[in-house]
Amino acid sequence: MTILAVYREPFSFAPVVRRLPEGESLAGMRARMRGLPDDFDARGTICLNGHPVPRAAWGLIRPKAAAVTEVTFHDRPMGGEDGGKQILQLVASIAITVATGNIMAGKFVTAGGLFAKNSLSAMFLAGAVSLAASLLLSALIPPPTIEEGKKRTDPGSASAEGNVLEPNGSVPRVVGEMKIFPPLATEPLVYFSGQDEIVEAVYCLAGPHRLEDIRVGAAPLTSLTDIDYELREGWPGDRPLSLVRRQARTEALQAELRGHVVADSDNRTLESATGSTASALPQKQVVATRDAPDEQMLHLVLPQGLFKNADPPVAMRVPFRLRLREIGEDTWIDLPELHYQAGKIGQLRASIRLIWSDDATTTPGASQTEGWVEARITAPGQTVDPVQDDWTAHPYFDDGAGDDYLTAANLASTAVDHVIMDRHEVQIYLDTATFPKGRYEIEIQRGAPIRQSDWSSSAYTVSGTVWDLFGYQGSPAKIPFSKEGVSDTVYLARSASVWNEHPAPASGLALIAIKARNRQLERVSCRAGGWVRDWDGTGWRDWVVTDNPAPHLRDIYVGAENVDPVPLGLIDDAGLVAWRAACTTLGYSCNAIIEGRTVDDAARIVASCGYAKPYMAEIWGVTRDYDRSAEGPVQIFTPRNSRGFRWTKAFARVPDGFRVTFRDAARDYEARQITVFRKGASDDSARIEQVTYEGLVSEADVIARAAYDQAQPDSRGTFYELDAPAEAIVCRRGDLVGVQHDMLTAQAGAGRIVDWEYDGSGDIAAIWLDESVPVQNEPDFHAVTDLHAITSMRAIGRKSGAAIRLSDGSVTTQALANATGDSARLELAAAMSPTGLADGLLATVGPLGREYMRAVVFAIRPRADFSASITLVDEAPEIWT
């Protein structure tokens, strides 16, 4: 439990904050509340949750967080010049806090509405735990914070590393210029080309981008000789990529196609740990295609090669059988039996490609000595125990005449159809009329290794005997050839579904296509700058790469990346042009990566970097925050043109500093952390809050922004609200207005001008209001001759001034020369021009130089009767100094 004690003087908004120990009685709290009026024990009131506590019970009651959320100290103002208003004046409060969730839920709401559920004051009180989070909701200009972080994946050995876009996923857009690791438009395609491993990848960004300094890891792309690449900046009408024209989904398996398990004694007799012969036989692997691919690739790797030890190594061959069926079907379809042959030490790579085609006409082909050397549509069953039936492939692969096998020696006489083999791959063409595109299960199994010199293709025999190469003979069970000294390990490395479709068919994408040989594409990056239309003096027509926030905010509103762009007639181009010029003058910039964000979020980040907030109402533009010290208010509110004036203030426990994470352009946009302390705090052991700034990429900009964000709770922690009639339409969010009310000062007064007096030169010497207002005109200390005659020391030197809103909307302030007292006639200390003066104009009176409180419009909530509820915050010029 935290006990937060706050004291303020009457009519003051400057808090004095103290932390009190838990378990304190009300009397103990009162003793610790320094600065209370001297007569508080006799005249003051202490309330628990808004209910007065008898003075006699102050020493007996010890508030607990479970029952009490606020202790408030009140005093009755004295009569006389303050008007003698008999109200309980809040002079101090104690908020007993437990957790931020309770604050935001309204657990600490006071009788007067302070800290009500989801109120601005509650947000700032919650900011004692998370200031950055509360500023997103309650600051005039929220900080440029955003969530980030994506998991990176590694799809294979020769591969492309990066985020792969999900279907309908968001594509990042660069605002300004940033180093970025662009996402993959689709999964990379990795395949074998001969004994090389090739990876094809396409990276993308949303909208046109200038693409420079493309790198793979730390190496410039232009310096890598084993890489081809192609770029498209993303302009309408760009030619499609020619380097990469297909897309794929890959399943990385690295699963061994296990052959026969044999005993060490002769390397030929089957041996099983369970005693089951079946468990010692070759095991099948099953893969599945994706939906309706044009091609399915199976990649095989023989890590040690295929040979029998000898000098030179003896050539061996390994048979493979595949079958497939549509998912949901029961019947398997046998494909031709395939034989792979080699006599080589060292890794070998081989591919099996199943190709769906509307025209599956093929010309037979086979490798002669190494690689895919044989395909078969029948295999005779062995007559030795266990006796086997003949094996036959699907009739689709038999053209009806010729040999039931295909080798390089019988290309003209084979009956095997729809199969083409070469040294590195076998292509099996599947006519879509017989094998409709869909989702298929594919089963693959390898057989026993056999010596090439022992094999007869025409008779399907090993040393003259027909063998079941996927089974065994005799008892004990044996395979046809001893595996002693034989290297025949086979892995199914990958299964890839391939579509002959462009990987990035949509226009308007910036693309980087890369085709690499025997290389992993690790951390592909580039320096990307988003092309955007900029102001050319008469329109938004110049395509540029700029970090000025204004063109990018307008692009977010109306650009091609917005699927529901704002009509151009609603865009506040004049305001955006003015803001653009201010950003240039003040050095405001935005360099950010926008991904997976709504239009509102993207607009907030970009605008915030320019110390602005998106304005989305009758027009779309920005609300700026800047030093308004040299400006006058656009409107003045007094009790004559408003009602229900009230204010709330949250006394947030602001952290001692921010530990800010940002992308530092000076360090190649690497993430960097710096600590920015509030004024007066500089100890790393202080209470620090973590925050991430998006769009700011220089240390100086980050420090300036952190100082601004830290100052807002102190300088703009008070929220004023009032209700105004239809004339409230004069002001917009972000405008500077004036407010005067007797809750702010006892010298407040206002009225409508009904007449005026001229001096001898035609200027205005005095004005008349429709009611009397209080005017002060007291001598200062130097003019006082008898201090005993002074009834109130606080009145010494008091002067009044009048602020008049003229007919053109401007505000003029004039010192008054009246004697102290109430008067409807305001005598001007210096005559003013009659220009803009008219009947019914509003005039407000207050202390000279403080005729009204300067405030900025935070929010306007219109009502059906054209009136509005307006929320204001302090102008706070000190934020800019």
149: pLDDT confidence band, cut at 50, 70 and 90? very low
Q: What six digits make up the tokens of 621?
A: 């533009």
> Residue 595 and residue 174: Cα distance in Å, rounded?
9
Give residue 690's pLDDT. 86
Question: How large is the C-alpha radius of gyration of the chain?
Answer: 42
Give residue 429's pLDDT. 98
Neighbours of 59 (CB within 10 A): 12
Q: What six digits make up the tokens of 4?
A: 């937060």
> Residue 523 and residue 216: Cα distance in Å, rounded?
6
Give residue 103's pLDDT. 40
Q: Is there a contact between 231 and 514 (Cβ–Cβ < 8 Å)?
A: no
Give yes or no for residue 170 having a pLDDT over 90. no
Listed as own residue / partner, the contacts of 387-392 with beta carbons closer than 8 Å and 24 or more positions apart are 388/468, 388/471, 391/321, 391/334, 391/337, 392/334
Q: Is 417 exposed, middle or buried, given 0-12, 13-18 or 19+ CB atoms closer than 10 A?
A: buried
Give yes or no for residue 413 having a pLDDT over 50. yes
Look over the chain and give the mean of its residue pLDDT values, rounded to a whole number.
85
- Which range in 14-28, 109-123, 501-515, 600-614 is most confidently predicted, on average pLDDT? 600-614
- Which range in 88-92, 667-671, 745-749 is most confidently predicted, on average pLDDT? 667-671
Give residue 98's pLDDT. 39
**% of the chain with per-residue pLDDT over 70:** 84
715: pLDDT confidence band, cut at 50, 70 and 90? confident
Give yes or no for residue 83 having a pLDDT over 60. no
Give yes or no for residue 775 having a pLDDT over 60. yes
Q: Is there a contact between 32 and 18 (Cβ–Cβ < 8 Å)?
A: yes
The mean pLDDT value for 555-575 works out to 92
> Residue 747 and residue 770: Cα distance in Å, rounded?
18
Give yes or no for residue 11 having a pLDDT over 50. no
The helix/strand/coil state of 577 is helix
More confident position, 151 or 776: 776
The mean pLDDT value for 198-221 works out to 94
**CA 600 from centroid of its chain's CA atoms:** 12
Give residue 114's pLDDT. 44
Give yes or no for residue 382 having a pLDDT over 60. yes
Least confident of 159-173, 278-292, 308-322, 565-579: 159-173
Positive or negative torsion for Cα 705, 710, 716, 717:
positive
790: pLDDT confidence band, cut at 50, 70 and 90? low
87: pLDDT confidence band, cut at 50, 70 and 90? very low
Least confident of 124-128, 441-445, 795-799: 124-128
> Concatenated DSSP letters for 698-712?
SHHHHHHHHHHHHHH
Give residue 100's pLDDT. 40
The helix/strand/coil state of 558 is helix
Give residue 272's pLDDT. 83
> Residue 19 and residue 161: Cα distance in Å, rounded?
53
pLDDT tens, residue by residue, 652-670: 667 888 889 999 999 999 9
Least confident of 1-5, 148-152, 208-212: 148-152
Give residue 1's pLDDT. 45
Contacts of 614 (CB under 8 A, 6+ apart): 553, 600, 603, 604, 607, 620, 621, 622, 623
**% of the chain with per-residue pLDDT over 90:** 60
pTM here is: 0.76
> Residue 450 and residue 482: Cα distance in Å, rounded?
9
Give residue 15's pLDDT. 47
35: pLDDT confidence band, cut at 50, 70 and 90? low
Least confident of 194-208, 544-558, 681-695: 681-695
> Residue 802 and residue 851: Cα distance in Å, rounded?
6
CA-based nearest residue to 448, from 477, 485, 488, 476: 488
Task: Quickly list H helices, 691-743.
Answer: 699-715
Give residue 12's pLDDT. 46
Residue showing tokens 């309330």: 47
Integer CA distances (angstroms), 461 to 59, 370, 474, 877, in order: 108, 20, 16, 97
688: pLDDT confidence band, cut at 50, 70 and 90? confident
The helix/strand/coil state of 254 is strand
> Concatenated DSSP letters for 192-230?
EETTEEEEEEEEEEEB-EEEEEEEETTEEGGG-TTEEEE
Give residue 371's pLDDT. 96
pLDDT tens, residue by residue, 462-478: 999 999 999 999 989 99
The mean pLDDT value for 217-225 works out to 91
> Residue 473 and residue 471: Cα distance in Å, rounded?
7
